[in-house]
């Protein structure tokens, strides 16, 4: 097995002792299982040098992740918006505390200089805080009191879609990942995310951050491996309510959309070109995973 290089930002071990190599696993239901298939694949840096072996998730792992996400949905969606924002902000706090490790992993994965990698990690932390701040403002911005003919109150309020499967961006290992996952959670949905196949290590480390924050197990589940192998099963899964195709190309997206039509999933198509994840995200990804519920209530009752 090739020798792993140090990507966690820690001092290299002395020649008198063996390094403690990190085992990269999946993150499902708040735990870190190995893939049930027993497979792994080599992850290299931007120059082709070996970094680590990552678990190669299977369709069984995808099914387990959906089960965990569905189980967690009731509690997460039922949490008050204010409390949900506090929980997400706590993730940003833990991210900030492990900044050096993320800088080293992003630099290795994306071939960035330390300063550029640091700016990317800072942007990812700030993006998480930005979405955390939206949790208790969505109803005021997206809800409405509708004028109707008759003695009724008519109110429209946003509600979470349910379980959302996300194919994370392939090129942006952390900032892109945060930009597609955080809006799902901010709106009250739960998530199964397939990390970048070539650059999965920051995603697995993000799983460690989630496990040591206040996010309940199952709210977000992280799979590593081949998108082409896992995505069709998530697209056709009857208990998945939404599908973000950001991490696949337009040609593959057509087949995945067809598979998703089986239970009328919400589908967010991939961008026509590589997204600029440093740009203002707006509300597009927040509103994509929200439904509008309209309530009629008679006046004076």
Calculate mean pLDDT across residues 145-167: 89
Domains of the chain: total = 1
pLDDT digits (tens, 9 = 90+) for 190-242: 999 999 999 999 999 999 999 999 999 999 999 999 999 999 999 999 999 99
What pLDDT was estimated at residue 1?
44
Kindly state whether residue 17 falls inside one of the protein's structural domains: no
Mean pLDDT of the chain: 91
Token pair 């942006």 in the structure block, residue: 172
Kindly state whether residue 25 falls inside one of the protein's structural domains: no
Q: 215: which residues sit within 8 A by CB, 6+ positions away? A: 87, 88, 91, 185
Which carries the bigger pLDDT value, residue 230 or residue 2? 230
Kindly state whether residue 16 falls inside one of the protein's structural domains: no
Kindly state whether residue 155 falls inside one of the protein's structural domains: yes
> Which 3-state string (H, E, C) describes the chain?
CCCCCCCCCCCCCCCCCCCCCCCCCCEECCECCCCCCCCEEEEECCCCCEEEEEECCCHHHHHHHHHHHHHHHHHHHHCCHHHHHHHHHHHHHHHHHCHHHHHHHHHHHHCCCHHHHHHHHHHHHHHHHHHHCCCCCHHHHHCEECCCCCCEEEEEEEEECCEEEEECCCCCCCHHHHHHHHHHHHCCCEEEEECCCCCCHHHHHHHHHHHCCCCCCCCEEEECCCHHHHHHHHHHCCCCCEEECCCCCHHHHHHHHHHHHHHCCEEECCCCCCCCCCCCCCCHHHHHCEEEEEEEEECCC
The two three-digit tokens of residue 202, written as one number: 């920051």
* Torsion 146-147-150-153 (CA) sign: positive
CB 166 within 8 A of CB 246: yes
What pLDDT was estimated at residue 96?
96
User: Considering only CA atoms, which of 20, 32, 43, 281 is closest in space to residue 176?
Assistant: 281
What pLDDT was estimated at residue 191?
97
Kindly state whether residue 19 falls inside one of the protein's structural domains: no
Q: 227: which residues sit within 8 A by CB, 6+ positions away? A: 167, 170, 194, 197, 247, 248
pLDDT at 156 exceeding the cut of 90: no
pLDDT digits (tens, 9 = 90+) for 36-87: 999 999 999 988 999 999 999 999 999 999 999 999 999 999 999 999 999 9
Residue 291, domain CATH:
3.40.605.10
pLDDT at 4 exceeding the cut of 50: no
Kindly state whether residue 7 falls inside one of the protein's structural domains: no
Kindly state whether residue 11 falls inside one of the protein's structural domains: no
Range of the domain at 196: 40-298
pLDDT digits (tens, 9 = 90+) for 92-134: 999 999 999 999 999 999 999 999 999 999 999 999 999 999 9
Kindly state whether residue 239 falls inside one of the protein's structural domains: yes
What pLDDT was estimated at residue 252?
87
């Amino acid at each position: 097995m090739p020798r792993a290089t140090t990507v966690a930002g820690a001092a290299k071990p002395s020649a008198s002792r063996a390094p403690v190599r990190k085992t990269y696993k999946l993150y499902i239901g708040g735990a870190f299982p190995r893939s049930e298939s027993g497979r792994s694949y080599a992850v290299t840096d931007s120059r082709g040098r070996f970094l680590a072996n990552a678990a190669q998730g299977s369709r069984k792992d995808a099914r387990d992740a959906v089960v965990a996400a569905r189980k967690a949905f009731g509690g997460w969606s039922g949490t008050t918006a204010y409390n949900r924002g506090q929980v997400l902000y706590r993730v940003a706090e833990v991210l900030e505390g492990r900044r050096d490790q993320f800088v080293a992993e992003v630099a290795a994965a994306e071939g960035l200089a330390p300063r550029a990698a640091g700016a990317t990690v800072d942007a990812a932390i700030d993006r998480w805080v930005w979405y955390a701040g939206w949790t208790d403002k969505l109803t005021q911005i997206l809800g409405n009191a509708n004028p109707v003919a008759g003695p009724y109150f008519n109110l429209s309020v946003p509600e979470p879609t349910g379980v959302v499967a996300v194919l994370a961006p392939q090129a942006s290992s952390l900032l892109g990942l945060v930009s597609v996952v955080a809006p799902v959670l901010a709106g009250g949905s739960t998530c199964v995310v397939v990390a970048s196949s070539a650059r999965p290590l920051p995603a697995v480390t993000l799983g460690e951050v989630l496990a040591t924050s206040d996010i309940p197990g199952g709210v977000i589940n992280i799979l590593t491996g081949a998108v082409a192998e896992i995505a069709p099963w998530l697209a056709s899964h009857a208990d998945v309510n939404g599908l973000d195709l950001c991490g696949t190309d337009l040609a593959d997206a057509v087949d995945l959309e067809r598979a998703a039509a089986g239970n009328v999933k919400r589908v967010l198509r991939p961008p026509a070109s590589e997204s600029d994840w440093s740009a203002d995200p707006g509300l597009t990804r927040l509103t994509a995973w929200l439904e509008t519920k309209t309530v009629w209530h008679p006046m004076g009752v």
